[in-house]
Amino acid sequence: MTSLFLHGPLARLEGLSLVLGHPVAVGRARLAGFEAHAALPGHWPALAAAEAAQTEGLELRDPSEADLARIDWLAACFGQARLPLPDGREALLPLHPAAAPAVPQPPGHEEVVTEALRDLMADYQRLDLPLTVVRWDMMLRRAASRLRALGQEGAKIRRDARPGDVAVRDRRVVYANYFSVEEYDLRHSRFDGGESPEINRAAFISSDAATVLPYDPKRDRVLVVEQIRSGPLARGAENPWLLEPIAGRVDAFETPEDCARREAEEEAGLTLDRLIEAARYYPSPGAKAEFLYSYIALCDLPDDLPRLGGLASEAEDIRAHLLPFDALMARITTPEFASGPLILSALWLAGQRDRLRAAG
């Protein structure tokens, strides 16, 4: 009889049920002489021998062949395998020693990891192994985005969507890397009371992102950043460099506001204080799952600010520009400023500029 000790996300009943594909009743268990560590926030913890240590988990007794196949597939995704323990049980152990030191896991990370497991197991036996660190990071960000969206879907004018209004027969990941593309075969309720035929739709999957336009109300100027962009390049633009607000993807374990502050430091060397939310929105809802939080930051923008920025680890090459507000508005409709978040932020700022300047 197989007795399997489960740790990390599999030590939560919800996570284990997602992996197995059915509800499960198991007992709590302990593993002496081992400790579990993860090298990055939200990443799969690896068991390692450690004298006097003890790890809490669950014990799955006599699992079916189908259950073991799903657990083995998941373990392989994270470079682990089901191997024997000294006490006669089995556990998921790393195939190679950890290359990086362990880091503390952020509060509440279990909920985000479990939500990411929902996506991963939906692709059981469909994704090529191994699952890369970059891919799992994006799945964590997407999971956090989905959790952030819960309870924010009010309907005063549009349809008040109810369970059953959209029926997805199949979901397929047709491309997966840092970003991914998903296809859906679905039916949906129609405005005339009927039901649509089965239709196929695709979406580009990323995660929530934050943008911030720094504004100095005393000097009446803004800071915008310039960098090469793959979107204009793929469209065939002769010049793929754009002027934009500071922007970045919201990490799985940070808030959009924290993301805006982090990106301002990385891209422009700015430490932000007050953030004002201008809008939250889907920039291209017919094709992308991306959701943006756009902010205006009130701050000092002196002449001697650093002009070059970006993270070398992400191959970023970013240049900052200080622009008088009037110069920004005079050119906001030109190809140099063809960035939706910049146009939206500039127009919002135009409507609030007098008030912000008067408030000091």
Q: Give catalytic residues, as residue numbers.
A: 314
Q: How far is it, in rounded angstroms, from Cα 2 to Cα 61?
A: 6
Q: How far is it, in rounded angstroms, from Cα 113 to Cα 166?
A: 26
Q: What are phi and psi of 99, to 5 degrees?
A: -90, -10
- Here the tokens at position 243 are 């002027």
* 290 contacts 256 by C-beta, under 8 angstroms: no
**E-strand spans in the chain?**
3-6, 27-37, 46-61, 80-84, 90-94, 166-176, 180-188, 199-205, 209-216, 221-228, 241-244, 246-249, 274-281, 292-298, 308-309, 318-324
Q: How far is it, in rounded angstroms, from Cα 52 to Cα 108?
A: 27
Q: How far is it, in rounded angstroms, from Cα 178 to Cα 136?
A: 9
Q: How far is it, in rounded angstroms, from Cα 18 to Cα 121?
A: 7
* 136 contacts 116 by C-beta, under 8 angstroms: yes
Q: How far is it, in rounded angstroms, from Cα 92 to Cα 82?
A: 5
